[in-house]
Amino acid sequence: MIAVMIAGSVAMLSALFGTRFLIIFFRTRGKGQPILGKDDHGPEHHMHKQGTPTMGGLAIVGAALFGWLVAHLRPGLALSDQTMIMWAGVLVMGGMGLLDDVIKVRKSHNRGIFWKKKSYITLAMSTLLAWWLVAATGLSETLSFTRSTLPGWHLPWPVLVVFAGVIVWSTSNAVNVTDGADGLAAGSAMMGFLAFTIIAYWAFRNPDVYGAVVNPLDLAVFAAAFGGACAGFLWYNAAPARIIMGDVGALGLGTSLALLALTTNTQLLLILICGINVIEAGSVAIQMGVFKASGRKKRLFRMSPIHHHFELIGWPETTVIIRFWIVSGICVASALAIFIADFTRVTENLR
């Protein structure tokens, strides 16, 4: 437990100082986030954020990595192959987001890599990452809710790779979609990482029930490091944001959450843990579906993702963020309640 606390606290402090450094670095160079205006069908009501320092996700990922490494200075905590592969995936996906952020800043336009091309590239990267994780580690080959034996449906190796790749791709893009209001993505992700810290540490303390989880203590440290980093970043990212996380942060956080779900055998529970991200991404899919089905004439929401819809009907941005955080908290708490209830039922049957 001490290693988990070290990872979280070190990452939080590192993110505080790292984010402050990035704000000064980008401000002195006049580099900031471009915002899509009315001509590009973007959130015109966010134009006042034009020029806000971006790429704050560098501080999140860097602080989480530093906190995770510092925690391993404590004797007894091994560097697992599985977690190092996870870090490689986070850095590669985050690097893709960083490239997109750099292009946006240089072009002074909020369109980096064309979104369809970027979607295909991230899907290919996610599938390759899933293949590496499945091939090189003892990842359970079952469809799981709270543990590998529930429901315990075996997935053939190729199906597992594709399934895992889609989870990484969809989660990273869902977090990216959520990152449109100050602190919304970072705050909801922090709650998700807290849930995975508890789940992984619970698995570490109860190997008889969660024996299929590989090195759960290291996974708990990984999750705690990201949770602490999100907390430190929120100090400056909370409304009104002094820095934006950018795609480097959104893709890095989404990839981390997805990989934690895969390695803790809670793939299906991820839908609830990342409930607010599912709602946000789902609103975009529904908006596009209605728009195309109506011959490009009608829209269900005033603007998607759905947090923009509520802003346009009169909710202040801070109200939207806090209420969405509450929804996220309810989803995360419900997921943990289901996880613990299942553990209680299993342990009672073992007595």
Burial class (CB within 10 angstroms; exposed 0-12, middle 13-18, buried 19+) of 301 = middle
pLDDT classification of 341: cutoffs 50, 70, 90: very high
**What share of the chain has pLDDT > 90, as a percent?**
56
Residue 52 pLDDT: 81
Residue 39 pLDDT: 47
**Which H or E run contains 145?**
strand 142-147
| CA–CA dist 4, 225 (Å, integer) | 8
> What's the average model confidence in pLDDT over 297-304?
82
Alpha helices in 206-316 (DSSP H): 216-237, 246-263, 270-273, 275-293, 306-312
Q: Is the peptide bond before 216 cis (omega within 30 degrees of 0)?
A: no
Does residue 340 have a pLDDT over 60?
Answer: yes
Backbone φ and ψ for 58, nearest 5 degrees, come out as -60, -40
Backbone φ and ψ for 154, nearest 5 degrees, come out as -75, 135
Q: Which of 37-46, 236-245, 317-326 has the lowest mean pLDDT?
A: 37-46
Nearest C-alpha neighbor of 256 from the set 99, 92, 136: 92
pLDDT in tens, 130-179: 999 988 887 888 888 888 888 878 889 889 999 999 999 999 999 999 98
pLDDT in tens, 113-124: 555 677 888 899
| CA–CA dist 193, 269 (Å, integer) | 13
**Which H or E run contains 318?**
helix 317-350
Paired tokens of 30: 């006049």
- DSSP classification of residue 301: S
Does residue 105 have a pLDDT over 90?
Answer: no
Q: Are the beta carbons of 23 and 53 closer than 8 angstroms?
A: yes
Does residue 267 have a pLDDT over 70?
Answer: yes
Does residue 329 have a pLDDT over 70?
Answer: yes
- Taking residue 38's Cβ as centre, other Cβ atoms within 10 Å add up to 9
> What's the average model confidence in pLDDT over 11-35?
85
Which residue has 């955080």 as its token pair? 325
Mean pLDDT over all residues of the chain? 88
pLDDT in tens, 180-232: 888 999 999 999 999 999 999 999 999 988 888 889 999 999 999 999 999 99
Length of the chain: 351
Greater model confidence, 76 or 253: 253
